[in-house]
Protein backbone atom coordinates (compact mmCIF):
# COMPACT_ATOMS: atom_id res chain seq x y z
CA UNK A 1 0.00 0.00 0.00
CA UNK A 2 1.30 3.42 -0.93
CA UNK A 3 2.33 5.62 1.98
CA UNK A 4 0.23 8.60 2.96
CA UNK A 5 2.39 11.72 2.77
CA UNK A 6 1.42 14.41 5.25
CA UNK A 7 2.93 17.84 5.90
CA UNK A 8 2.56 19.36 9.37
CA UNK A 9 3.40 23.04 9.61
CA UNK A 10 3.83 25.25 12.65
CA UNK A 11 6.41 26.65 15.00
CA UNK A 12 8.05 29.65 16.56
CA UNK A 13 7.08 28.57 20.07
CA UNK A 14 6.48 25.30 21.87
CA UNK A 15 2.77 26.09 21.83
CA UNK A 16 2.76 25.58 18.07
CA UNK A 17 5.44 22.89 17.78
CA UNK A 18 4.39 20.31 20.34
CA UNK A 19 0.72 20.06 19.31
CA UNK A 20 1.95 19.26 15.79
CA UNK A 21 4.35 16.65 17.21
CA UNK A 22 1.51 15.12 19.25
CA UNK A 23 -0.51 14.71 16.05
CA UNK A 24 2.52 13.27 14.22
CA UNK A 25 2.84 10.66 16.97
CA UNK A 26 -0.87 9.86 16.69
CA UNK A 27 -0.55 9.43 12.90
CA UNK A 28 2.35 7.01 13.38
CA UNK A 29 0.37 5.05 15.99
CA UNK A 30 -2.54 4.73 13.58
CA UNK A 31 -0.72 4.17 10.28
CA UNK A 32 2.69 2.78 11.29
CA UNK A 33 4.93 2.45 8.23
CA UNK A 34 2.04 3.58 6.05
CA UNK A 35 2.69 7.26 6.70
CA UNK A 36 5.52 9.64 5.90
CA UNK A 37 5.58 12.99 7.70
CA UNK A 38 7.37 16.20 6.78
CA UNK A 39 7.42 19.22 9.06
CA UNK A 40 7.71 22.75 7.69
CA UNK A 41 8.92 25.49 10.03
CA UNK A 42 10.59 28.88 10.04
CA UNK A 43 14.35 29.25 9.61
CA UNK A 44 16.14 30.21 12.78
CA UNK A 45 13.25 29.25 15.06
CA UNK A 46 13.28 26.56 17.73
CA UNK A 47 11.51 23.95 15.59
CA UNK A 48 14.56 23.67 13.35
CA UNK A 49 16.38 22.03 16.29
CA UNK A 50 13.51 20.40 18.20
CA UNK A 51 11.90 18.51 15.31
CA UNK A 52 15.04 16.72 13.98
CA UNK A 53 15.91 15.78 17.58
CA UNK A 54 12.58 13.92 17.71
CA UNK A 55 13.42 12.00 14.54
CA UNK A 56 11.34 13.90 11.97
CA UNK A 57 12.37 15.67 8.76
CA UNK A 58 11.84 19.43 8.57
CA UNK A 59 12.11 22.07 5.86
CA UNK A 60 12.71 25.69 6.88
CA UNK A 61 11.13 28.74 5.27
CA UNK A 62 12.64 32.25 5.34
CA UNK A 63 9.44 33.65 6.85
CA UNK A 64 9.26 36.27 9.60
CA UNK A 65 6.46 37.98 11.45
CA UNK A 66 5.73 41.68 11.57
CA UNK A 67 7.28 43.59 14.46
CA UNK A 68 4.66 45.40 16.54
CA UNK A 69 6.80 48.52 16.75
CA UNK A 70 8.12 50.54 13.84
CA UNK A 71 11.09 48.55 12.67
CA UNK A 72 13.05 48.54 9.38
CA UNK A 73 12.86 44.72 9.48
CA UNK A 74 9.17 45.00 8.57
CA UNK A 75 10.18 46.18 5.09
CA UNK A 76 11.60 42.73 4.37
CA UNK A 77 8.48 40.83 5.43
CA UNK A 78 6.67 40.88 2.01
CA UNK A 79 9.80 39.62 0.22
CA UNK A 80 10.29 36.86 2.79
CA UNK A 81 6.65 35.87 2.45
CA UNK A 82 6.96 35.63 -1.35
CA UNK A 83 10.13 33.52 -1.07
CA UNK A 84 8.47 31.34 1.57
CA UNK A 85 5.46 30.63 -0.64
CA UNK A 86 7.76 29.62 -3.52
CA UNK A 87 9.75 27.34 -1.24
CA UNK A 88 6.56 25.90 0.28
CA UNK A 89 5.22 25.07 -3.20
CA UNK A 90 8.48 23.29 -4.02
CA UNK A 91 8.40 21.33 -0.74
CA UNK A 92 4.78 20.27 -1.31
CA UNK A 93 5.53 19.19 -4.88
CA UNK A 94 8.81 17.39 -4.13
CA UNK A 95 7.34 15.58 -1.11
CA UNK A 96 4.16 14.65 -2.98
CA UNK A 97 1.94 15.76 -0.09
CA UNK A 98 -1.50 14.18 0.18
CA UNK A 99 -2.61 16.60 2.91
CA UNK A 100 -1.29 19.62 4.81
CA UNK A 101 -2.18 20.57 8.39
CA UNK A 102 -1.31 23.93 9.93
CA UNK A 103 -0.84 24.49 13.67
CA UNK A 104 -0.04 28.19 13.75
CA UNK A 105 3.22 30.09 13.82
CA UNK A 106 5.08 31.89 11.06
CA UNK A 107 5.41 28.98 8.64
CA UNK A 108 1.80 27.80 8.62
CA UNK A 109 0.40 30.60 6.47
CA UNK A 110 2.61 30.22 3.35
CA UNK A 111 2.38 26.42 3.44
CA UNK A 112 -1.42 26.34 3.76
CA UNK A 113 -1.81 29.11 1.18
CA UNK A 114 0.39 27.26 -1.32
CA UNK A 115 -1.28 23.89 -0.69
CA UNK A 116 -4.76 25.31 -1.21
CA UNK A 117 -3.78 26.76 -4.56
CA UNK A 118 -2.19 23.46 -5.59
CA UNK A 119 -5.39 21.54 -4.79
CA UNK A 120 -3.91 19.71 -1.78
CA UNK A 121 -6.48 19.22 1.04
CA UNK A 122 -5.73 21.33 4.12
CA UNK A 123 -6.68 21.30 7.79
CA UNK A 124 -6.30 24.16 10.27
CA UNK A 125 -5.90 23.64 14.00
CA UNK A 126 -7.08 26.76 15.84
CA UNK A 127 -5.88 26.57 19.44
CA UNK A 128 -7.47 29.68 20.90
CA UNK A 129 -11.00 30.78 21.66
CA UNK A 130 -10.47 33.91 19.54
CA UNK A 131 -9.28 33.12 16.03
CA UNK A 132 -6.40 35.05 14.51
CA UNK A 133 -6.66 36.94 11.22
CA UNK A 134 -4.45 34.48 9.30
CA UNK A 135 -6.57 31.46 10.20
CA UNK A 136 -9.78 33.33 9.41
CA UNK A 137 -8.46 34.09 5.91
CA UNK A 138 -7.10 30.58 5.29
CA UNK A 139 -10.31 28.97 6.57
CA UNK A 140 -11.99 29.76 3.26
CA UNK A 141 -9.88 27.18 1.47
CA UNK A 142 -9.53 24.64 4.30
CA UNK A 143 -11.47 21.36 4.29
CA UNK A 144 -11.49 20.97 8.09
CA UNK A 145 -10.98 23.34 11.02
CA UNK A 146 -10.22 21.67 14.35
CA UNK A 147 -11.03 23.85 17.37
CA UNK A 148 -10.79 23.63 21.15
CA UNK A 149 -13.64 25.93 22.19
CA UNK A 150 -17.38 26.27 21.68
CA UNK A 151 -18.77 29.14 19.65
CA UNK A 152 -16.10 29.17 16.94
CA UNK A 153 -18.86 29.59 14.33
CA UNK A 154 -18.23 33.31 14.96
CA UNK A 155 -15.06 32.95 12.92
CA UNK A 156 -15.36 29.90 10.68
CA UNK A 157 -17.99 28.15 8.52
CA UNK A 158 -19.90 25.83 10.87
CA UNK A 159 -19.86 22.94 8.38
CA UNK A 160 -16.05 22.80 8.48
CA UNK A 161 -15.63 22.90 12.27
CA UNK A 162 -14.75 19.85 14.36
CA UNK A 163 -14.32 20.32 18.13
CA UNK A 164 -11.32 18.16 18.97
CA UNK A 165 -9.52 20.09 21.72
CA UNK A 166 -5.83 20.94 21.69
CA UNK A 167 -3.39 18.03 21.24
CA UNK A 168 -0.81 17.56 23.98
CA UNK A 169 2.30 15.44 24.25
CA UNK A 170 2.88 13.31 27.33
CA UNK A 171 0.49 11.94 29.90
CA UNK A 172 -1.75 14.21 31.95
CA UNK A 173 -4.64 13.06 34.10
CA UNK A 174 -6.59 13.87 37.23
CA UNK A 175 -5.33 10.64 38.79
CA UNK A 176 -1.62 10.93 38.12
CA UNK A 177 1.08 10.68 40.75
CA UNK A 178 0.30 10.06 44.42
CA UNK A 179 0.15 13.38 46.26
CA UNK A 180 2.30 12.17 49.16
CA UNK A 181 5.08 11.31 46.72
CA UNK A 182 4.78 14.71 45.04
CA UNK A 183 4.89 16.61 48.34
CA UNK A 184 7.97 14.65 49.40
CA UNK A 185 9.69 15.54 46.12
CA UNK A 186 9.37 19.26 46.97
CA UNK A 187 10.14 18.82 50.66
CA UNK A 188 6.61 19.86 51.58
CA UNK A 189 4.21 18.75 54.30
CA UNK A 190 0.55 17.76 53.97
CA UNK A 191 -0.39 20.25 56.71
CA UNK A 192 -0.33 23.30 54.41
CA UNK A 193 -1.93 23.78 50.98
CA UNK A 194 0.23 24.25 47.87
CA UNK A 195 0.14 27.03 45.26
CA UNK A 196 1.83 26.32 41.92
CA UNK A 197 3.07 29.47 40.14
CA UNK A 198 4.18 28.65 36.62
CA UNK A 199 5.33 31.13 33.99
CA UNK A 200 6.67 29.02 31.12
CA UNK A 201 10.19 28.05 30.10
CA UNK A 202 11.47 31.64 29.77
CA UNK A 203 9.44 32.95 32.69
CA UNK A 204 6.95 35.76 33.20
CA UNK A 205 7.94 39.12 34.67
CA UNK A 206 4.50 39.78 36.15
CA UNK A 207 4.28 36.47 38.03
CA UNK A 208 7.83 36.82 39.33
CA UNK A 209 7.16 40.38 40.55
CA UNK A 210 3.95 39.08 42.12
CA UNK A 211 5.94 36.52 44.10
CA UNK A 212 8.53 39.10 45.19
CA UNK A 213 5.88 41.52 46.46
CA UNK A 214 4.03 38.75 48.32
CA UNK A 215 7.16 37.24 49.90
CA UNK A 216 8.27 40.62 51.28
CA UNK A 217 4.94 40.83 53.14
CA UNK A 218 5.26 37.36 54.72
CA UNK A 219 8.06 38.11 57.18
CA UNK A 220 10.12 34.99 56.49
CA UNK A 221 7.41 32.30 56.66
CA UNK A 222 4.74 31.82 54.00
CA UNK A 223 1.26 30.73 55.19
CA UNK A 224 1.03 28.31 52.26
CA UNK A 225 3.60 26.24 50.38
CA UNK A 226 4.56 27.56 46.94
CA UNK A 227 6.16 25.91 43.92
CA UNK A 228 7.61 28.95 42.15
CA UNK A 229 8.84 28.39 38.62
CA UNK A 230 10.80 31.49 37.64
CA UNK A 231 11.78 30.64 34.05
CA UNK A 232 15.27 30.62 32.60
CA UNK A 233 15.37 34.35 31.80
CA UNK A 234 14.71 35.41 35.40
CA UNK A 235 16.45 32.57 37.23
CA UNK A 236 19.51 34.43 38.53
CA UNK A 237 17.58 37.55 39.55
CA UNK A 238 14.89 35.61 41.42
CA UNK A 239 17.37 33.28 43.11
CA UNK A 240 19.24 36.35 44.37
CA UNK A 241 16.00 37.85 45.64
CA UNK A 242 15.08 34.72 47.62
CA UNK A 243 18.58 34.53 49.10
CA UNK A 244 18.13 38.13 50.28
CA UNK A 245 14.62 37.38 51.61
CA UNK A 246 14.79 33.78 52.91
CA UNK A 247 11.25 32.47 53.37
CA UNK A 248 10.10 29.08 54.57
CA UNK A 249 7.72 26.95 52.50
CA UNK A 250 8.95 28.21 49.11
CA UNK A 251 10.40 25.91 46.44
CA UNK A 252 11.99 27.88 43.63
CA UNK A 253 13.40 26.71 40.30
CA UNK A 254 13.92 27.90 36.73
CA UNK A 255 12.23 24.78 35.39
CA UNK A 256 9.88 22.11 36.64
CA UNK A 257 11.25 18.80 35.42
CA UNK A 258 8.38 16.78 36.85
CA UNK A 259 5.13 18.52 35.98
CA UNK A 260 3.25 15.42 37.13
CA UNK A 261 4.59 16.03 40.65
CA UNK A 262 3.83 19.76 40.46
CA UNK A 263 0.22 19.17 39.44
CA UNK A 264 -0.24 16.37 41.97
CA UNK A 265 1.04 18.59 44.79
CA UNK A 266 -0.86 21.73 43.80
CA UNK A 267 -4.16 22.74 45.36
CA UNK A 268 -4.40 25.77 43.08
CA UNK A 269 -2.39 27.02 40.09
CA UNK A 270 -1.49 30.56 39.00
CA UNK A 271 -0.62 30.65 35.31
CA UNK A 272 -0.79 32.44 31.98
CA UNK A 273 -3.61 31.26 29.70
CA UNK A 274 -1.95 30.11 26.51
CA UNK A 275 -3.93 27.48 24.63
CA UNK A 276 -1.82 24.45 25.56
CA UNK A 277 -1.57 25.51 29.22
CA UNK A 278 -5.36 25.78 29.42
CA UNK A 279 -5.76 22.32 27.88
CA UNK A 280 -3.22 20.83 30.30
CA UNK A 281 -5.02 22.28 33.30
CA UNK A 282 -8.33 20.88 32.07
CA UNK A 283 -6.77 17.41 31.85
CA UNK A 284 -5.31 17.51 35.35
CA UNK A 285 -8.44 19.11 36.79
CA UNK A 286 -6.67 21.67 38.95
CA UNK A 287 -8.32 24.92 40.11
CA UNK A 288 -6.56 27.84 38.45
CA UNK A 289 -6.25 31.60 38.54
CA UNK A 290 -5.34 32.80 35.06
CA UNK A 291 -3.26 35.94 34.55
CA UNK A 292 -3.54 36.46 30.78
CA UNK A 293 -0.53 37.94 29.01
CA UNK A 294 -1.33 41.36 27.52
CA UNK A 295 1.46 40.94 24.95
CA UNK A 296 -0.20 38.53 22.51
CA UNK A 297 -2.07 38.95 19.24
CA UNK A 298 -5.80 39.71 19.46
CA UNK A 299 -5.55 39.46 23.27
CA UNK A 300 -6.29 35.76 22.81
CA UNK A 301 -5.12 34.77 26.30
CA UNK A 302 -7.86 36.88 27.87
CA UNK A 303 -10.41 35.27 25.56
CA UNK A 304 -9.09 31.80 26.49
CA UNK A 305 -9.34 32.57 30.19
CA UNK A 306 -12.81 34.08 29.94
CA UNK A 307 -14.08 31.02 28.07
CA UNK A 308 -13.43 29.07 31.31
CA UNK A 309 -14.39 31.82 33.74
CA UNK A 310 -17.81 32.08 32.08
CA UNK A 311 -18.34 28.36 32.76
CA UNK A 312 -17.32 28.59 36.41
CA UNK A 313 -14.16 26.63 35.61
CA UNK A 314 -11.46 29.21 36.45
CA UNK A 315 -10.71 32.53 38.13
CA UNK A 316 -8.93 35.41 36.43
CA UNK A 317 -6.84 38.37 37.58
CA UNK A 318 -5.74 40.90 34.98
CA UNK A 319 -2.01 41.37 34.42
CA UNK A 320 -2.05 44.97 35.63
CA UNK A 321 -3.59 43.90 38.96
CA UNK A 322 -1.66 40.68 39.53
CA UNK A 323 1.37 41.91 41.47
CA UNK A 324 -0.50 43.13 44.53
CA UNK A 325 -3.57 40.94 44.31
CA UNK A 326 -3.14 37.50 42.77
CA UNK A 327 -1.38 35.58 45.58
CA UNK A 328 -3.85 37.00 48.10
CA UNK A 329 -6.67 35.81 45.83
CA UNK A 330 -5.13 32.33 45.75
CA UNK A 331 -4.81 32.15 49.54
CA UNK A 332 -8.41 33.37 49.84
CA UNK A 333 -9.60 30.66 47.43
CA UNK A 334 -7.79 28.00 49.46
CA UNK A 335 -9.83 28.98 52.52
CA UNK A 336 -13.05 27.83 50.80
CA UNK A 337 -12.62 24.09 50.03
CA UNK A 338 -16.15 23.71 48.64
CA UNK A 339 -15.72 26.50 46.07
CA UNK A 340 -12.22 25.25 45.24
CA UNK A 341 -13.54 21.73 44.66
CA UNK A 342 -16.28 23.08 42.39
CA UNK A 343 -13.65 24.90 40.30
CA UNK A 344 -11.63 21.69 39.94
CA UNK A 345 -14.67 19.66 38.92
CA UNK A 346 -15.79 22.29 36.40
CA UNK A 347 -12.40 22.56 34.66
CA UNK A 348 -12.02 18.76 34.55
CA UNK A 349 -15.32 18.48 32.67
CA UNK A 350 -13.78 20.52 29.84
CA UNK A 351 -10.89 18.08 29.27
CA UNK A 352 -10.47 16.54 25.82
CA UNK A 353 -7.77 13.87 26.27
CA UNK A 354 -8.08 12.32 22.80
CA UNK A 355 -7.43 15.52 20.82
CA UNK A 356 -4.31 14.30 18.98
CA UNK A 357 -6.05 11.11 17.84
CA UNK A 358 -9.14 13.04 16.76
CA UNK A 359 -7.10 15.46 14.64
CA UNK A 360 -5.09 12.58 13.15
CA UNK A 361 -8.37 10.93 12.14
CA UNK A 362 -9.53 14.14 10.46
CA UNK A 363 -6.27 14.39 8.48
CA UNK A 364 -6.52 10.76 7.38
CA UNK A 365 -10.13 11.41 6.39
CA UNK A 366 -9.01 14.22 4.07
CA UNK A 367 -6.92 11.76 2.07
CA UNK A 368 -9.56 9.05 1.88
> Are 39 and 156 in the same domain?
yes
203 with 237, same domain: the answer is yes
362 in the same domain as 340: no
Q: 83 lies in which domain range?
A: 4-170+353-367
User: What are the beta bridge partners of residue 271?
Assistant: 198, 290
- Asked whether residue 52 falls in the same domain as residue 140, the answer is yes
User: Which residues have C-beta within 8 Å of that of residue 70, sequence separation ≥ 6?
Assistant: none
Q: Are residues 358 and 341 in the same domain?
A: no
Burial 295-319 (b: 16+ CB within 10 A, else e): ebeeebbbbbbbbbeeeebbbbbeb
**In this predicted model, what pLDDT tens digit does every residue of 7-38 receive, in sequence order?**
999 876 667 788 999 999 999 999 999 999 99
Asked whether residue 253 falls in the same domain as residue 193, the answer is yes
The pTM for the full model equals 0.86
pLDDT in the model for residue 67? 47
Is 361 found in the same domain as 218? Answer: no
CATH number assigned to the domain comprising residue 194: 3.40.50.2000
Give all strands of the β-sheet with 122-126 in edge-to-edge order: 57-61, 35-42, 4-9, 99-102, 122-126, 144-147, 161-163
Per-residue burial over 161-176, b if 16 or more Cβ lie within 10 Å, else e, is beebbbbbbeebebeb
Residues 204 and 335 in one domain: yes
User: Count of domains in the chain?
Assistant: 2
Contact between residue 125 and residue 89 where contact means Cβ atoms under 8 Å apart: no
pLDDT in tens, 345-368: 999 999 999 999 999 999 999 997
Q: Do 245 and 166 sit in the same domain of this protein?
A: no
Within this chain, do residues 195 and 342 fall inside the same structural domain, yes or no?
yes
Q: Three-class SS of residue 322? A: helix
Q: Is 203 in the same domain as 143?
A: no
Q: How much helix, strand and coil, in percent to the nearest 5, is found in the chain?
A: 50, 15, 35
User: Are residue 193 and residue 150 in the same domain, yes or no?
Assistant: no
Amino acid sequence: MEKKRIILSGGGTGGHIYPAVAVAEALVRKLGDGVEILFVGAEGRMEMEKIPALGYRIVGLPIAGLQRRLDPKNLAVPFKAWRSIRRARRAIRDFGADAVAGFGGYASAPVLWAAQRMGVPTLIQEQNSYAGLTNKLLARGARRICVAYDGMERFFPAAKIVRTGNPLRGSFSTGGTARAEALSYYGFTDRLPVVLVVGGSLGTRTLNEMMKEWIVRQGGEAPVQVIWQTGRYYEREMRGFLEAHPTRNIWQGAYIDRMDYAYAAADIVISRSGACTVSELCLVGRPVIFVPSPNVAEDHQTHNAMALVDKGAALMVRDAEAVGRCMDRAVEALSDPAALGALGEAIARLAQPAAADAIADEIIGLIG
